[in-house]
Structure 1
Amino acid sequence: MSADPDLDVLLDRLRPRSTREAFAEIEAARRAAESREPQRTIIPDPELPPLWPHPDSGLVRFPCALRCGWAHEEDVHEIDAEPVSVPLHAGAEELNRVLTEQAERRAAKMRARVKRAVREHFTQAHPGQEPPERDLW
């Protein structure tokens, strides 16, 4: 037991688990994943960017599902332009909450941009055809 409760929580998470505890945790995660309803989206699978210092590093491409050659690009470096504001006295939980909320806002905005771009592309390049959906797990 230390004077820092955050350290105690971290050390407890790092302590070696028994085989029985590890198996129970894996089984619980598997059951939760099986019971979850799959979500559907029109956002195609992304093509991840090459590593830096490649000139296209940071550009995630969402190619047309019909393979017509079109792709919507998102610059991941540009996405992180929003400043993070955290109180100086914030603890680990507050910092985690602030960063999680910011990440969720950025992800929602990006999904909206990609969906809008895919719909516009199908309206112009593939009139009368709906964008295909895929399962998200």
Structure 2
Amino acid sequence: MTADTDLDVLLAELPQPSSREAFAEIEAARRAAEARTPRRTIVPEPVLPPLWPHPDSGIVRFPCALGCGWTHAENIADEDPDPISVPLSASPKEIGRVLSERAERRASLLRQRVESAIREHFKVAHEGQEPPEREVW
């Protein structure tokens, strides 16, 4: 038996939703996406790092939205060196909660660092001009 046939067997054992159920799920997702309120941010779209072993792998760059050539670099490998601490008796739900809280805290700190760098750049290089905002979902 190959891995593909093992997967086929497992997929065949899963309950198959009806067409009506599948359509209802897609419709619910579409309505939820339409109802979502967009947020505004001054953080530009990041330039993602090249793959390892490139010397810049792991470095995410946030370029100036005005195209002046300035970028703020963040080394994603340096973030949050604290170990993850989860009790051995923790349930999967508790582990998920701990990891989610940690990810939210890290994202908030990253956003604060990038926003501070952008504001400082605009104060120095683009005096009197506010950083442009963009919508994010």
TM-score grouping bracket, smaller chain normalisation = 0.7 to 0.9
User: Are 2:74 and 1:77 aligned?
Assistant: no
Q: Give the letter aligned to residue 135 of structure 1.
A: E
Match of 1:87 in 2: 87
CA-CA distance at 1:113 after TM superposition? 0.3
Match of 1:38 in 2: 38
Note the alpha carbon deviations across 1:49-87, whole angstroms, 9 max, x for none.
011111111111000000100000111111142210000
Match of 1:109 in 2: 109
Unpaired runs of at least 5, structure 1? 1-13
**Which has the higher Rg, Structure 1 or Structure 2?**
2
Q: Aligned residue pairs: how many?
A: 124
Note the alpha carbon deviations across 1:24-66, whole angstroms, 9 max, x for none.
1121111111112211000000000011111111111000000
Q: Give the letter aligned to residue 76 of structure 1.
A: I
TM-score normalised by structure 1 residue count:
0.86
Change in Cα spacing, 1:80 to 1:22, as seen in structure 2 (3 Å) is farther
Match of 1:97 in 2: 97
Percent identity, aligned pairs only, is 66
Change in Cα spacing, 1:15 to 1:62, as seen in structure 2 (3 Å) is farther
RMSD: 1.2
Match of 1:17 in 2: 17
Distance (whole Å) between structure 2 residues aligned to residue 17 and residue 92 of structure 1 = 26
CA-CA distance at 1:15 after TM superposition? 4.1
Change in Cα spacing, 1:75 to 1:16, as seen in structure 2 (3 Å) is farther
Match of 1:9 in 2: none
Change in Cα spacing, 1:31 to 1:75, as seen in structure 2 (3 Å) is same
Deviates more, 1:18-27 or 1:60-69: 18-27
TM-score normalised by structure 2 residue count:
0.86
